[in-house]
Amino acid sequence: MELKERIIENASALFFRNGIKSMTMSDIATELGISKRTLYEHFRDKENLLEECLTFYHNKTDKEIERLTHDSDNVIDTMIRLYARNFFQMLDASQLLMYDLKKYYSHLFRRIEDKHNERVCIFIPLFKKGVEQGLIRNDINFEIMLWLLKIQFDAVLNENIDKVPTEKYSANQFLQAIIQNFMRGIATPLGNERIDQLMENYRDYEIKI
């Protein structure tokens, strides 16, 4: 791995864990075991580094979705894993990170929102493959269903979380309910049999796949 790629990958983890405002270029260089001069040779400032980190994260996610979509032998399995992984990646992003993005880098935050909106329909080819496998119904509007799913995810992850009783139910419980309701709504009887099998496997532990 080239040095620039290593910096981006490790800096991404630091931003996700600690937020943006508190992390200086000196802090990042120290954490990576490189000089600040070396860091500035690759990135003009912290905003440039942050932008590269966000691009890295989105590209990595898109490639993973594309790979899993292409290699999927069973669409039901793949979709549940993809949604679970995507949910927890967003959940693991610190609230401080999102706060800092909104307050200090609003243009980058809007870019993230636009990217998420663009990605809504990225799963449609996977749904079509599920129709071919006899697991997904062919009489529904996939784009509308995906937007409805995004709205539900946003409700749990949004900063206005006070509207969701997280003191009573864990984020994982909300995740399971959202995914089950969504998947059962688009699945055929055969697809629902597969969902039953998967949910039985996940009953006693968090869906962190």
Q: What is the DSSP string of 22-59?
A: T--HHHHHHHHTS-HHHHHHH-SSHHHHHHHHHHHHHH
The predicted structure's pLDDT at residue 88: 63
Helix, strand, coil percentages for the chain (3-state, nearest 5): 75, 0, 20
> Is the pLDDT reported for residue 206 higher than 70?
no
Residue 9's domain is classified under what CATH number? 1.10.357.10
Inter-CA distances, 176 with 4, 66, 157, 170, 172, Å? 38, 23, 14, 10, 6
Number of domains in the chain: 2
Residues forming a β-bridge with 136: 187
**Domain check: are 43 and 63 in the same one?**
yes
Average pLDDT over residues 58-78: 77
What average pLDDT does the structure give for the chain? 82
- Domain termination site, one of 30, 46, 71: 71
**Domain check: are 7 and 96 in the same one?**
no
The predicted structure's pLDDT at residue 1: 64
**Domain check: are 192 and 107 in the same one?**
yes
**Domain check: are 208 and 127 in the same one?**
yes
Inter-CA distances, 78 with 35, 82, 84, 140, 205, Å? 42, 6, 10, 20, 18
**Domain check: are 61 and 79 in the same one?**
no
pLDDT digits (tens, 9 = 90+) for 98-147: 789 889 999 998 888 888 787 788 788 888 989 999 999 999 999 999 99
* Cα Rg of the chain, angstroms: 19
DSSP state of 170: -
pTM, two decimal places: 0.71
pLDDT digits (tens, 9 = 90+) for 172-201: 677 778 888 899 999 999 999 988 887 776
The predicted structure's pLDDT at residue 89: 65
The predicted structure's pLDDT at residue 207: 46
Average pLDDT over residues 76-96: 71
Residues forming a β-bridge with 187: 136
**Domain check: are 88 and 20 in the same one?**
no
**Domain check: are 65 and 76 in the same one?**
no
**Domain check: are 56 and 89 in the same one?**
no
Can you tell me whether residue 136 is helix, strand or coil?
A: strand
Dihedral sign (CA 128, 134, 139, 141): negative
Domain holding 27, by residue range, is 1-71
**Domain check: are 149 and 206 in the same one?**
yes
